[in-house]
Amino acid sequence: MNAPIPRVSVLPQPYLLFLGDTTEASFAKTALGLAHWAPDQCVGEMALPGATVSTGLPRITAVEAGEAGAKSLVIGVANQGGVIPASWIDALVAALDAGLHIISGLHVRLASIPALAEAAKRNNRQLIDVRTPPASIPVGTGRKRSGKRLLTVGTDCALGKKYTALALYRAFQARGVDADFRATGQTGIMIAGGGMPMDAVVSDFEAGAAEVLSPDAHAQHWDVVEGQGSIFNPSYAAVSLGLLHGSQPDVFVVCHDPTRSTILGLEGFDLPTIEEVIDMTVRLGSRTNPAIRCGGVSLNTSSMSEGEAAQLLADESARLGLPVADPVRGGAPFDALVEACLA
Amino acid sequence: MNAPIPRVSVLPQPYLLFLGDTTEASFAKTALGLAHWAPDQCVGEMALPGATVSTGLPRITAVEAGEAGAKSLVIGVANQGGVIPASWIDALVAALDAGLHIISGLHVRLASIPALAEAAKRNNRQLIDVRTPPASIPVGTGRKRSGKRLLTVGTDCALGKKYTALALYRAFQARGVDADFRATGQTGIMIAGGGMPMDAVVSDFEAGAAEVLSPDAHAQHWDVVEGQGSIFNPSYAAVSLGLLHGSQPDVFVVCHDPTRSTILGLEGFDLPTIEEVIDMTVRLGSRTNPAIRCGGVSLNTSSMSEGEAAQLLADESARLGLPVADPVRGGAPFDALVEACLA
């Protein structure tokens, strides 16, 4: 039923998902996200002894993955510090020896690890850091581009902007709308097979990077752009505003976690209200698209019962006068959100 | 009369100002700015045959500069493309041979030019690119810091934010106020002897870089922070918002050129009004400093007669209900602006 995520760039797919020796599902978000959103691009998973997390895909070796057509091993786990522990090196070298490229979204550069650099050279394989932006990103121009764009924005970080964008993209495809998912973070880039790591771009080029990400398209085409951070987040607002200006959305969807009251990791900062985010996004976004409008709201109701969630979605929709849905739950509220975005 | 600009960092001063073969004063803004704002840190100027621009400082050789105590040659000119032409290389190598370091704010890295890299190594001298941010900038935290801060903001780029910040800093010093000038662009960094090249910082760390630039200080101390870009500039707003959030100003001054009607280089974009900039700066800046207020307005009246300028300053002050001054002209309007900022 689900349309595949488009591969807009050059990551060598399909993937073998590497889980390391992870015992915490929250550290394996990249692998789990890939297995969920791009299962047709994942031939299996590989783990070290001690790992207890699984994506549900077949557990295979690097050699078996290569025989099954895999082109790359994706490091599907992040540990604290974003480093590669010594205990992973032998397995990663074996993957290179089996003919796979390695793809990483960690902070550490793969090529900075001598054993990996040497094995990659010996096997003529690539070490791909998706956090590294492309060279020669231009300064933004603000020029209005053809085609239509949707951006997910948020009251904070890490509350569903990627998931919402992917769900809307899938729903657009299911309705026969020509659309692309435009990834702006590491996991999204791996899912899409390409994109722009917006938080790693030099700030002078931030809007320009977003312009490159969603180029001119035909009039009925939609780019569904993964949002980053929040214009109200005192750490990351620069990323969010450059992305808003450069993606010049026609429609935005506000993503929110109703159980969160303060900015993640910054206890002195209250979360903005949904209305504040709508108002400020319209005011700032109208600089590059005067026709910008809010298509609705995406709520993360994962901590609620089905009845509680349905009530909250209905109450919030009535209060705001907008469609409000949880894309994980789908159903009629999500259909209403999709229709409002496309209207 | 003028207090020296504080040297907050490590650029080796004093300087020899290098003018290349420039015939356009607008390309020599760095040299002219240094001669104007940091004359006590400039022992002279050096130029190639054909140059017609002068800072008014003595024209000397690199050897003479070294004998006069100069520690560095500053490339005081920018040409189109930000490169170093081949015709400059011999003179720059000679400066390294004379014992001077070289400081550049150009896009091109000095060390990427083999003749310079080799001469620097041979003489054990540094090649300093002030556009290169320091390593290990932290993510912003939004934590309120002690001391007071002023930020210059603008309706656009390149209309007096550096000049206004330096003039306010000097005026604070003249009134016995303990203050530092905090530089955020190449010329400002050379004037101050240190600072943070905000437009070259990776966007995820933009607010954090501004936090590093103006650290905790005693309660009566003022940091006067050089602004960058404009939150209404569709190319550079990410830089401006990160700087606003991270510098958490108590007071801001809006810089404006009354003869400019569209964003520099982007003809489809009207300049925002001064009132729009005040309103948006208060709304966004209150996220990290709820007490933020506008201290007044700095107008560039260089194209007007003295009478016209005085009339415009008075009219705008009455219209906005705020002090409005041209810091180049100074006088009573500027005194009123200074007093309002310190009030």
**Domain check: are B21 and B89 in the same one?**
yes
**What is the CATH classification number for the domain harbouring A287?**
3.40.50.300
Tokens read off for B188: 């400002």
List the domain range (segments joined by +) for residue A105: 15-129
Which chain B residue has its CA at the smallest distance from A241's CA? B238
Which residues in chain A are contacts of B157 at CB distance < 8 A? none
**Domain check: are A115 and A152 in the same one?**
no
**Domain check: are B96 and B174 in the same one?**
no
Which residues in chain A are contacts of B283 at CB distance < 8 A? 280
Taking the Cβ of residue B142 and every Cβ of chain A, the question of whether any pair is shorter than 8 Å is answered with yes
Taking the Cβ of residue A270 and every Cβ of chain B, the question of whether any pair is shorter than 8 Å is answered with no
Residue A5 placed within a domain: no
**Residue pair B198/B227 in contact by the 8 Å Cβ criterion:** no
pLDDT band at A5 (very low <50, low <70, confident <90, very high): low
The whole-number pLDDT of residue B5 equals 54
Taking the Cβ of residue B14 and every Cβ of chain A, the question of whether any pair is shorter than 8 Å is answered with no
**Residue pair B83/B96 in contact by the 8 Å Cβ criterion:** no
Which residues in chain B are contacts of A283 at CB distance < 8 A? 280
Which residues in chain B are contacts of A204 at CB distance < 8 A? 199-200, 236, 239
For residue B231, give how far its alpha carbon lies from the nearest alpha carbon of chain A (Å). 9
Q: What is the pairing mode between strands A148-154 and A101-104?
A: unpaired
Residue B249 placed within a domain: yes
Residue A8 placed within a domain: no
Of B199, B200, B241, the CB nearest to A241: B241
Tokens read off for B63: 């050897």
Q: Which residues of B302-311 are buried (b: 16+ CB within 10 A; e: fewer)?
A: eebeeeebbe
pLDDT band at A1 (very low <50, low <70, confident <90, very high): very low
Taking the Cβ of residue A204 and every Cβ of chain B, the question of whether any pair is shorter than 8 Å is answered with yes
Query: Of the residues B96, B129, B162, which one is the last residue of a structural domain?
Result: B129
Of B141, B199, B232, the CB nearest to A204: B199
Q: Cis ω on the peptide bond leading into residue A14 (within 30° of 0)?
A: yes
Identify the residue whose tokens are 């370091």: B101
Taking the Cβ of residue B141 and every Cβ of chain A, the question of whether any pair is shorter than 8 Å is answered with yes
The whole-number pLDDT of residue B3 equals 56
The whole-number pLDDT of residue B83 equals 84
Taking the Cβ of residue B107 and every Cβ of chain A, the question of whether any pair is shorter than 8 Å is answered with no
A215-239 pLDDT, tens digit per residue, is 999 999 999 999 999 999 999 999 9
Q: How far apart are CA B342 and CA B326, in angstroms?
A: 17
Of B200, B232, B238, the CB nearest to A238: B238
> What φ, ψ does residue A300 adopt, rounded to 5°?
-90, 105
**Which residues have a Cβ under 8 Å from the Cβ of A191 and sit 6 or more positions away?**
A5, A33, A34, A37, A38, A166, A181, A183
Residue B293 placed within a domain: yes
The whole-number pLDDT of residue A3 equals 55
Q: How far apart are CA A62 and CA A240, in angstroms?
A: 38
**Domain check: are B159 and B23 in the same one?**
no
Q: How many domains does chain B have?
A: 2
Q: In whole numbers, what is the pLDDT of chain A averaged over residues?
A: 95
**Domain check: are A287 and A172 in the same one?**
yes
Residue A143 placed within a domain: no
- Give one word for A181, left, alpha or beta, with left for phi > 0 and alpha for psi -120 to 50: beta
**Residue pair B45/B57 in contact by the 8 Å Cβ criterion:** yes
**Residue pair A9/A188 in contact by the 8 Å Cβ criterion:** no
B19, B81, B23: which is closest to B44 by C-alpha?
B19
Q: How far apart are CA B141 and CA B143, in angstroms?
A: 5
**Residue pair B42/B69 in contact by the 8 Å Cβ criterion:** no
For residue B220, give how far its alpha carbon lies from the nearest alpha carbon of chain A (Å). 24
Instruction: Answer yes or no: pTM beyond 0.90.
Output: yes
Identity of the amino acid at B338: V
**Domain check: are B265 and B333 in the same one?**
yes
Q: How far apart are CA B74 and CA B62, in angstroms?
A: 11
**Domain check: are A168 and A84 in the same one?**
no
Residue B10 placed within a domain: no
Angle, CA A280 vertex, CA A276 and CA A283 arms, to 5° = 145
pLDDT band at A26 (very low <50, low <70, confident <90, very high): confident
**Domain check: are A119 and A227 in the same one?**
no
The whole-number pLDDT of residue B1 equals 39
**Domain check: are B112 and B194 in the same one?**
no
A32-63 pLDDT, tens digit per residue, is 999 999 999 999 999 999 999 999 999 999 99
Element (H, E) at B170: helix B161-174
Average pLDDT over residues A241-259: 98
Q: Which SS3 state, helix, strand or coil, does residue B328 take?
A: coil
**Domain check: are A165 and A214 in the same one?**
yes
For residue A143, give how far its alpha carbon lies from the nearest alpha carbon of chain B (Å). 8
Which residues in chain B are contacts of A139 at CB distance < 8 A? 235-236
Average pLDDT over residues A90-118: 96
**What is the CATH classification number for the domain harbouring B47?**
3.40.50.720
Q: How far apart are CA B181 and CA B170, in angstroms?
A: 9
As a whole-number percent, the residues of chain A with pLDDT over 70 amount to: 97
Walk along chain B (343 residues) and give the pLDDT tens digit of each residue.
Answer: 355 554 445 899 999 999 999 999 889 989 999 999 999 999 999 999 999 999 999 999 999 999 999 999 999 998 767 789 999 999 999 999 999 999 999 888 999 999 999 999 999 999 999 999 988 899 999 999 999 999 999 999 999 999 999 999 999 999 999 999 999 999 999 999 999 999 999 999 999 999 999 999 999 999 999 999 999 999 999 999 999 999 999 999 999 999 999 999 998 999 999 999 999 999 999 999 999 999 999 999 999 999 999 999 999 999 999 999 999 999 999 999 999 999 9
Q: B141, A266: Cβ pair inside 8 Å?
A: yes
Taking the Cβ of residue B122 and every Cβ of chain A, the question of whether any pair is shorter than 8 Å is answered with no
A165-185 pLDDT, tens digit per residue, is 999 999 999 999 999 999 999
Name residues 215-254 of chain A within 8 A of B (Cβ): 231-232, 234-239, 241-242, 245
The whole-number pLDDT of residue B9 equals 55
Which residues in chain A are contacts of B197 at CB distance < 8 A? none
Tokens read off for A1: 């039923």
**Domain check: are A122 and A207 in the same one?**
no
B18, B21, B78: which is closest to B48 by C-alpha?
B21
Average pLDDT over residues A246-273: 96
Of A201, A232, A241, the CB nearest to B202: A201
**Domain check: are A21 and A155 in the same one?**
no
pLDDT band at A7 (very low <50, low <70, confident <90, very high): very low
Residue B96 placed within a domain: yes
Q: B234, A207: Cβ pair inside 8 Å?
A: yes
Q: Which SS3 state, helix, strand or coil, does residue A315 take?
A: helix
As for the ipTM of the complex, it is 0.94
Which residues in chain B are contacts of A202 at CB distance < 8 A? 199-203
Q: How far apart are CA B9 and CA B197, in angstroms?
A: 13
Which residues in chain A are contacts of B279 at CB distance < 8 A? none
A264, A265, A266: which is closest to A256 by C-alpha?
A264
Which residues in chain A are contacts of B139 at CB distance < 8 A? 235-236
**Residue pair B71/B100 in contact by the 8 Å Cβ criterion:** yes
**Residue pair B66/B89 in contact by the 8 Å Cβ criterion:** no
B211-246 pLDDT, tens digit per residue, is 999 999 999 999 999 999 999 999 999 999 999 999
Q: A141, B206: Cβ pair inside 8 Å?
A: no
Residue B134 placed within a domain: no
